[in-house]
A and B are shown apart, each in its own frame.
Chain A
Amino acid sequence: MKIHEYQAKELLAKFGVPTLRGQLAHDADGAAKAFTALGAKVSVVKAQVHAGGRGKAGGVKLVKSADEAKKAAAGMFAKPLVTHQTGPEGAKVRKVWIEEGCEIARELYLGVVLDRAARSPVVMASSEGGVEIEEVAEKHPERILREWFDPLQGLAGYQARRLALKLGLSGDAFKAAVPLLQALAKCFLDKDCSMVEVNPLVVTKAGGLIALDAKVAFDSNGLFRHKDVLAFRDKDEEDARELAASEHGLNWVSLDGDVGCMVNGAGLAMATMDAIKLAGGFPANFLDVGGGATKDQVCAAFKLILKDPKVKAVLVNIFGGIAKCDVIAGGILAAAKEVHLTVPLVVRLEGTNVEIGRKMLEESGMKIHTAKTIDAAAKAVVKAAHGGKA
């Protein structure tokens, strides 16, 4: 789960990370008022969307008066913000964060993530602040410092000092860096984060440290024990269909193609998408109905697929293990009765109770194309989507 920058800063501040004063605004007038309330000579208006790359896309503007703040905010609210992470359609800006400015001497990068290969959380730091870490990793991998830490103990003091020294910090900045680094690691562990990133971390001309930008994301498997984090959830930022699917316990990812898919199991769902692509088509979605799919879930999944106007044909691929083919067939038939099925449907069933399931579909009188293998099913559905007969 992702959260907004202003929420990430609120969270990090609770762990003792220094941030600047700021206010949230939901419209242009609010931005002007926030500027006045902050009373700083210079402030920054920052679009709050769940996507990176805002600066280059015009989502961050330096302003010197309430009027400028209003104009900057109005510009951001007026049209979707298109960054390299949003896709061409962009992200609608619903809130802006107005923050006082500061005098920057140096910009650093700090991040905490899980290193899967090392099976350990790791703090990453770089003197290349304000640049995306992937870019640094590609061009100057030697400039990224790493400190792996024990998930039971957190980042030890000597580890934090080692990083701070290697970053070239001294004096007050060095002293401030040690608890700050430990705070980031603590937040990562305590709140079940999948990422904590401060980029840039600013060394001010006065020698202090400030988290100028912050990005925090959470392991969704850990959310059940963090009510405070769940309160940060902004459903406006989430894909409507992914959200609807999650309410039915379904795993959904919206894609750009025209072949709707319903599969049980994540690996098989990905493999089915691959088979569709190999057959010359492109999937409209990834959908894993899970190992123990119920009739209701199948029915809900079906409706969700058919809601997408792009969908020209649907492929159901089920390998029944725990999920039984007759249950799946029942769900398909129930859904098809409820929603008027206007696009071709290709079904491939295999596994537990497959004969009963196939018979149910055959005897239903519905126009269903059945296939025995994944690639036969993929070829049939792509042909159907492209206007040929399935």
Chain B
Amino acid sequence: MSILVGKSTRVLCQGITGEAGKFHTQKAIEYGTCMVGGVTPGKGGTTVDVGGAQLPVFDSVADAVAKTGANASVIYVPAAFAADAILEAIDAKLELVICITEGIPVNDMAKVHRKLADSGTRLVGPNCPGVITPGAFEEGQHKTGCKIGIMPGYIHRPGTIGVVSRSGTLTYEAVWQLTQLGLGQSTCVGIGGDPLPGTNFVDVLRLFEDDPATEGIVMIGEIGGSAEEDAARFIAESVTKPVVGFIAGQSAPPGKRMGHAGAIIAGGKGTAAEKVKALKKAGVTMVNNPAKLGAAMAELLATRK
């Protein structure tokens, strides 16, 4: 078991003929992901060669869905056109849309959210590494996993820890610590560093809580916004599984955007200190040293058993 993505996920790549789209589609196929085709308006009817596999390219998402039976898409479309690509995917009624693109104007996302709210689509991202359900690791390779996004596949192992994070490389860091300690992952979800993500901590925490294959949760937040405070309230009320947390940006100055569009302490709000306080109060095991995330999870699981 896993959340969001697994063996039944049939994935389209929006922007498949671009460099990033092509490269990561190939990596996804190598990992075992069921990539069924791609969309690049104007290039419909052609195929694209991804590491020897020929994938069909369509002019529209609707067309691609009709011909391939896709139920998910991953978006590598440039920022100026990415919001439109998300809207198109919602319109085609895809269950899951994962947007990797960084730099989408926030007003575009505010408009996307109007449409998203009335749809059955779950959007993950934008500005995120994606979602991965690790596959069995045999002979130095994964072949049975589902990897949708830009994360390096080999650092993951199948297991029972759910990981949810606003960051990319910091998630890899946490996953690698877990893997080295022999703690595999059920699913790892990067919700992205933008101010208006499609999926928030609460959404993913709920899924992990309901997933019988997930035993523990690692949650990585950062400064800006109040998604961690919302998560704290939800954890206090509804999460029974052990949660280990870290908030990046404890030494960040106010009023400065720390790389991510959403990582900014504005008007004195969104500091790491208040997030840590809220999560601690909710019973989350908070670490102040990012190198201790894996160890803290291992310890917590040991005391529970």
Q: How many A residues have CB within 8 A of the partner chain?
A: 57
Question: Does B267 reach chain A (CB closer than 8 Å)?
Answer: yes
How far is B268's CA from A121's CA once the two chains are assembled, in angstroms? 19
Contact B289 A192 (CB under 8 A): no
Interface 0/1 of A262-275, CB less than 8 Å to B: 01111111111111
Given A114-B110, A151-B110, A222-B105, is A270 in contact with B252 using a C-beta cutoff of 8 Å?
yes
Contact A114 B170 (CB under 8 A): no
Given A133-B267, A319-B172, A351-B152, is A266 in contact with B226 using a C-beta cutoff of 8 Å?
no
Tell me which residues across on chain A come within 8 A of B252, comparing CB atoms. Answer: 270, 273, 286
Question: Does B251 reach chain A (CB closer than 8 Å)?
Answer: yes
Contact A189 B107 (CB under 8 A): yes
Interfacial residues of chain B within 191-208, with CB under 8 A of chain A in the complex: 193, 195-196
Chain B binding surface, main DSSP class: loop
Question: Does B168 reach chain A (CB closer than 8 Å)?
Answer: yes
Contact B248 A270 (CB under 8 A): yes
Given A253-B256, A268-B167, is A119 in contact with B152 using a C-beta cutoff of 8 Å?
no
Write the nearest CB–CB distance from B284 to chain A, whole angstroms.
17
How far is B196's CA from A120's CA once the two chains are assembled, in angstroms? 9
Chain A binding surface, main DSSP class: mixed
Contact A352 B152 (CB under 8 A): yes
How far is B249's CA from A152's CA once the two chains are assembled, in angstroms? 34
Question: Does B261 reach chain A (CB closer than 8 Å)?
Answer: yes
Q: How many B residues have CB within 8 A of the partner chain?
A: 61
Contact A274 B170 (CB under 8 A): no
Interfacial residues of chain B within 233-258, with CB under 8 A of chain A in the complex: 246, 248-253, 255-258
How far is B165's CA from A276's CA once the two chains are assembled, in angstroms? 21
Contact A221 B261 (CB under 8 A): yes
Tell me which residues across on chain A come within 8 A of B249, comparing CB atoms. Answer: 270, 273-274
Contact A375 B230 (CB under 8 A): no
Contact B225 A375 (CB under 8 A): no
Contact A268 B151 (CB under 8 A): no
Contact B168 A219 (CB under 8 A): no
User: In the complex, which residue of chain B has the Cβ closest to the Cβ of A274?
Assistant: B250
Tell me which residues across on chain A come within 8 A of B296, comparing CB atoms. Answer: none
Contact B169 A265 (CB under 8 A): yes
Write the nearest CB–CB distance from B24 to chain A, whole angstroms.
9
B103 contacts which of A134, A152, A221, A278 (Cβ < 8 Å)?
Answer: A221
Contact B80 A224 (CB under 8 A): yes
Question: Does B137 reach chain A (CB closer than 8 Å)?
Answer: no
Contact A225 B80 (CB under 8 A): yes
How far is B291's CA from A117's CA once the two chains are assembled, in angstroms? 30
Interfacial residues of chain A within 268-304, with CB under 8 A of chain B in the complex: 268-278, 282-283, 286, 288, 291
Write the nearest CB–CB distance from B261 to chain A, whole angstroms.
6
Contact A319 B263 (CB under 8 A): no
Contact B152 A374 (CB under 8 A): no
Tell me which residues across on chain B come within 8 A of A120, comparing CB atoms. Answer: 110, 113
Question: Does A255 reach chain B (CB closer than 8 Å)?
Answer: yes
Contact B105 A221 (CB under 8 A): yes
Tell me which residues across on chain A come within 8 A of B167, comparing CB atoms. Answer: 265-268, 271
Write the nearest CB–CB distance from B21 to chain A, whole angstroms.
13
Write the nearest CB–CB distance from A224 to chain B, whole angstroms.
6
How far is B267's CA from A117's CA once the two chains are assembled, in angstroms? 15
Given A119-B113, A151-B107, A291-B150, is A275 in contact with B291 using a C-beta cutoff of 8 Å?
yes
Tell me which residues across on chain A come within 8 A of B129, comparing CB atoms. Answer: 321
Question: Does B50 reach chain A (CB closer than 8 Å)?
Answer: no
Contact A266 B107 (CB under 8 A): no
Write the nearest CB–CB distance from B150 to chain A, whole angstroms.
6
A278 contacts which of B80, B223, B256, B289 (Cβ < 8 Å)?
Answer: B289
Question: Does B173 reach chain A (CB closer than 8 Å)?
Answer: yes
How far is B152's CA from A321's CA once the two chains are assembled, in angstroms? 5
Question: Does A100 reach chain B (CB closer than 8 Å)?
Answer: no
Contact A269 B258 (CB under 8 A): yes
User: In the complex, which residue of chain A has the Cβ closest to the Cβ of B196?
Assistant: A119
Interface 0/1 of A318-333, CB less than 8 Å to B: 0111100000000000
Write the nearest CB–CB distance from A279 to chain B, whole angstroms.
9
Contact B251 A374 (CB under 8 A): no
Tell me which residues across on chain B come within 8 A of A134, comparing CB atoms. Answer: 267-268
How far is B288's CA from A321's CA once the two chains are assembled, in angstroms? 24
Interface 0/1 of A156-195, CB less than 8 Å to B: 0000000000000000000000000000000001001010
Tell me which residues across on chain B come within 8 A of A194, comparing CB atoms. Answer: 106
Question: Does A150 reach chain B (CB closer than 8 Å)?
Answer: yes
Contact B106 A117 (CB under 8 A): no
Interchain residue pairs A-B with the least CB separation, the first 6: A267-B167, A266-B259, A265-B169, A267-B170, A222-B105, A270-B248
With A270-B222, A271-B170 given, name 5 new contacts (CB 8 A).
A117-B230, A220-B257, A225-B80, A267-B222, A274-B272
| Partner-B contacts on A (CB < 8 A) | 85, 114, 116-117, 119-121, 133-134, 137, 150-152, 189, 192, 194, 219-222, 224-225, 251, 253, 255, 263-278, 282-283, 286, 288, 291, 319-322, 350-352, 373-376
